[in-house]
Amino acid sequence: MSFVSLSFAAFVLAALPLYYLTPVKHRPLFLALLSAVFYLLSEPLYLPVLLAVSIVTFYAGRALGSERSEQSKLRLTLWIVALLVINLAFFKYFSFFKLVLAPVLPPPQLLSPYLKVVLPLGLSYYSFRAIGYILDCYWEKAQPEQRFDRLLAYLSFFPHLLSGPIQKAQDFQAEMPAANASDRATSNRMTFDSDLARSGLELILWGLFKKVVIADNLAKYVSAVYDQPNDFGGAYVLWALYFFAFQLYADFSGLTDMAIGVGRLFGINAPQNFARPFYASNIQDFWRRWHITLTNWLSTYLFTPLHMSLRGGGQWGLMAAITINMLAIGVWHGPTLIFVAFGVFHAVLMVVSVLTMPLRDDLFEKLRLPTKLRSVVGGLITFHLVTLSFVFWKAGSVPAAFELLGRLAAPSSAAITTLLAIAYLKLGILLIALLLLLERFTSAAADPFENQFGPRGQLPSRSLPEWMRRHVLSAILIALILFLGALDGEPFIYQQF
Amino acid sequence: MSHTEQDDTATPDRTKSTGKRSRTGPAGLRGLAQLAGRSLMHLLIVGLLVLAFDRALYAVFFRQYDKLLRLTRLEKPVDVLIVGSSNLLWALDADYLAARTKLRVNIITIAGGDTGFRLNVLKEYLRRHGPPRLFVLQTDAYLFDRHRYQKEAYRQIEGYYPAGLLSDYIRGRWDDPKDLWLNTISASHALNSQKGYIGTRVYEKFAGLVEQVTGYKPLETELPVEGPTPSPAGNQAGTKNDGTAPTKTAGREQSSAGKTSTEANTRNLEIIGATPEARLALWHKTYSETDRDLREAPALVAGFEQTVELIRRHTVTSIFLEPPAFPLPYGQDRIEAVRERIRKAAASAPHIRYIRDLPGFGPGERSNANLFFDPAHVNVAGRIAYSKAVAELLIQASGQ
């Protein structure tokens, strides 16, 4: 069920009154059941996988809570994490393993009925949440859940199920009322909060705008160039590379904004997943702004432990930890050479950036260049490097990516058969300008509603009351969606992961 | 900055992302009623603002789409009304015709304008003004071909809907209630299918400004002209790259007889690797594959027959004009049968003429590949030659 569909809107609208009519203490149970229904409507076949992961995680968490021996806790944690990783790897990388093991497997026709494995919906996301929960229970950062419905609500919360954000267990727990009904301090959690609901609606609108106005319109030109690279040359190809970077950003950030927005309607807040990534001044900064919850997750559960255990290796240890972390980001997207290359490329960028940072600091200090100039130059270089890495991603194979990059050297011309695509090129340039303009006035931490038209609003319209400024922005976005939105139901790019 | 700093920056900050969080839920039924009342009031305000911005967008951007403006000229009487699809759109220069003939000429030709569209334009015109001095109807040999008009061709003209033109016709063609509903409440949504074209026009205005100030032109290409009508196989130039039917493409009219956007395109856009021989080979390949697909659609035949009936009933002096087409030896028997049917229809009334060859654009020009962009559409040179020939025809036929 796509977020941009009438059926999803109907599902949420039908669920909301029932949710708020349910007694507060039973709302986690209601959310868990609702998410199960959502899963059944979307992909019923793999609901048992979700339930199995939840059950294993629940009992493992409880066992960790009651276990006294550190050694037993460590052993249990390792076993459960390994089990969850194997489960994830089995579904996610099955086709890869099949390819690798093909020479030693029986003839494919004998195994074919069993060799069709489809990636269960949201598996990457709920597996990461489950692994994080187990590790946090082990490190005693999260309270082991004593009620299964609460854990199921966390792992399967339907707005976050398909594409994140990957919220940490303790953050989600903080959104739920305490399991103990007598705890008055938390009794107002999951209750209707008009401010939160309003900001949720605004975030949904902002996400929808990014998806259907920006991403889906840019996609028309991007697809034209990537499908027929030989019809375009020079500047036309370069624009397609830029467009895909913005398309991917608008598509994915739009999706998670909508997910967070829907969550807020149910009284559940979640961390933001993007913070104006194309304003990043270097590659580390970029990864602090792009897919933040995944980066954070890996940083907490992979990079930091690795770095700690490799700290004896000095710079080499740091480089190894960074490389493994970035490789994990690449491979998380899929078991293809392209994603491995994506991870390696970013690992190299990250290592080079970290190692040369002191040198660059010195250089800029000696040259006495203004900080602003440094961030602009650094931002442009970072944007181009990131854009280059996305070429491989979109092209789907290394030769196809090089073929496209080769077209950059061709004369700036386009085949006459591409006239329609070029109309979308010019529209796309305007749309990117519009997006950057809207984001320019926002801080890295929020959507335009919270800044542009919020208390720190920078437009001359500050004389209007805040609620009016918000309504004006909402109305502008809705009108632009009607006018420019590509409402033909393009799927979200990130739902496949 | 080390990688470990990610932890700090991405920690969810609820107060930042949601502003102040007051969990002040409604207290009892009274509170609930108050909340519902407040929400309704806010929704109403947003709704009114949406309506205002929607109409503002329509008013501003409607003017970027000059074909829409041209259709709105149906509101004014003209001497010559020309109706057709992209074949005549590419082949005729409206400004040149008006200047040469001194007649008020309105050319309503859109890509994908099928016989139903042509019938409804004539109906609307007759309803408003009665018969024009001369009516020119495009009647090409693929007139009834079921594969020629993409299903979504009528989206081309949805922008006319809020203008109140052809509304019955367009309303009848929506196959999705969601589309009908959206277009009924939103004027700017009616321009949605033309957003590529409108964006191009706006971009070029900004680019022109940048060029004036800095001397730098960001993109060298001119605005795309109208994409050709889909070939009988639906596999012609203009259809291939984004999967969108070329009927969604919008075109710009020539700004003057001497300088056209088409010329600019020809100058700036090269056909990569396509020599004249390669183009001819491509034409042959495309059309040889269409031989078996020339089946008629009853609705298209009915549209034409109703148009003829309307012309007869109102005694409209009319020309059935076959637009220029490069002759290819495929499906000739079927094409000839269509032609014969059109000829017969024209012969059924003394005030209707069927014309294929014109003085100045006869068999010699028709078989000159240098005058064609593709077999069904002339290029700039062909357009100039054909416009001259049609201007003379209009002068003669309108009795000047």
Q: How confident is the prediction along chain B (400 residues), in pLDDT tens digits per residue?
A: 333 333 333 333 444 444 444 444 445 677 778 878 888 998 999 999 999 999 999 988 887 766 666 777 788 899 999 998 888 888 998 888 988 999 999 888 877 788 988 999 999 999 989 999 999 999 988 888 877 776 656 676 777 777 778 888 887 777 778 878 888 889 898 888 888 888 888 888 888 888 788 777 666 544 333 333 333 333 233 322 222 323 323 333 322 222 333 333 433 343 444 566 777 887 787 777 665 556 788 889 999 999 999 999 999 999 999 999 988 887 778 888 899 999 999 999 999 999 999 998 999 998 888 888 888 888 888 889 999 999 999 998 877 6
Q: Among B139, B143, B136, B142, which Cα is nearest to B351's? A: B136
Give the residues across from B320 on adjacent strands. Answer: B137, B354
In the predicted model, is pLDDT for residue A85 greater than 60?
A: yes
Smallest CA–CA distance, residue B213 to chain A, in Å, is 19
The closest CB to that of B42, out of A189, A418, A471, belongs to: A471
CA gyration radius, chain B: 26
Cβ contact (<8 Å) for B265 and A195? no
Contacts of A480 in chain B (CB under 8 A): 57
* pLDDT value of position A180: 65
The closest CB to that of B49, out of A188, A455, A471, belongs to: A471
Cβ contact (<8 Å) for B219 and A282? no
Name every residue whose Cβ is closer than 8 Å to that of residue B18 and which is 6 or more positions away in sequence.
A195, A196, A199, A264, A269, A450
Q: Among A138, A158, A135, which Cα is nearest to A39's? A: A158
Report how far residue B374's alpha carbon sits from residue B230's, in angstroms, rounded to the nearest whole number. 11
Collapse the DSSP code of B135 into the 3-class scheme (helix H, G, I; strand E, B; otherwise coil) and give the result.
Answer: strand
Mutate to test the interface with B, among A24, A217, A276, A416 (most CBs of B within 10 A): A416
Which tokens hold the place of B18? 């949601």
* pLDDT value of position B400: 61
* pLDDT value of position B265: 40
Cβ contact (<8 Å) for B54 and A479? yes
Cβ contact (<8 Å) for A284 and B2? yes
**Residue A112's pLDDT band (boundaries 50, 70, 90)?**
low
Contacts of A474 in chain B (CB under 8 A): 46, 49
Q: Could you report the per-residue pLDDT of A235-248, keeping only the tens digit for each?
A: 889 999 999 999 99
Contacts of B46 in chain A (CB under 8 A): 471, 474-475, 478
Average pLDDT for A445-473: 63
The closest CB to that of A427, out of B191, B200, B221, belongs to: B200
Mutate to test the interface with B, among A483, A487, A488 (most CBs of B within 10 A): A483
* pLDDT value of position B17: 41
In the predicted model, is pLDDT for residue A423 greater than 50?
A: yes
**B83 C-beta neighbours (distance < 10 Å), count:** 23
More confident residue, B221 or A301: A301
Contacts of A483 in chain B (CB under 8 A): 54, 57-58, 61, 186, 188-189, 191-192, 195
* pLDDT value of position A421: 79
Strands, E assignment, A155-226: none
* pLDDT value of position A68: 79
Task: Give the residue on A whose Cα is nearest the Cα of B62.
Answer: A483
Q: What is the ipTM of this complex?
A: 0.81
Mutate to test the interface with B, among A228, A420, A471 (most CBs of B within 10 A): A420
Mutate to test the interface with A, among B17, B34, B185, B235 (most CBs of A within 10 A): B17
A293 to chain B, any CB pair closer than 8 A? The answer is: yes
Contacts of B372 in chain A (CB under 8 A): none
Lowest mean pLDDT among A383-387, A440-444, B152-156, B180-184: A440-444
- C-alpha atoms less than 13 angstroms from C-alpha of A313 in its C-beta half-sphere: 13
Cβ contact (<8 Å) for A478 and B50? yes
What is the overall mean pLDDT for chain A? 85
Tell me how many degrees the CA angle A454-A458-A462 measures, rounded to the nearest 5: 65
Q: What is the secondary structure of B272-335 as a DSSP string?
A: TT--HHHHHHHHHHHHHTTGGG-PBPHHHHHHHHHHHHHHHHHT--EEEEPPP----SSSHHHH
* pLDDT value of position B235: 29
In the predicted model, is pLDDT for residue A457 greater than 80?
A: no
**Residue A294's pLDDT band (boundaries 50, 70, 90)?**
very high
The overall longest dimension of chain A from CA atoms, in Å, is 74
A496 to chain B, any CB pair closer than 8 A? The answer is: no
**Residue A133's pLDDT band (boundaries 50, 70, 90)?**
very high
Which tokens hold the place of A350? 């990250």
* pLDDT value of position B224: 35
Report how far residue A403's alpha carbon sits from residue A420's, in angstroms, rounded to the nearest whole number. 23
Amino acid at B165: L
Task: Give the residue on B whose Cα is nearest the Cα of A202.
Answer: B18
Q: Among A363, A376, A216, which Cα is nearest to A282's? A: A376
Contacts of B6 in chain A (CB under 8 A): 287-288, 292, 295-296, 299
**A363 C-beta neighbours (distance < 10 Å), count:** 12
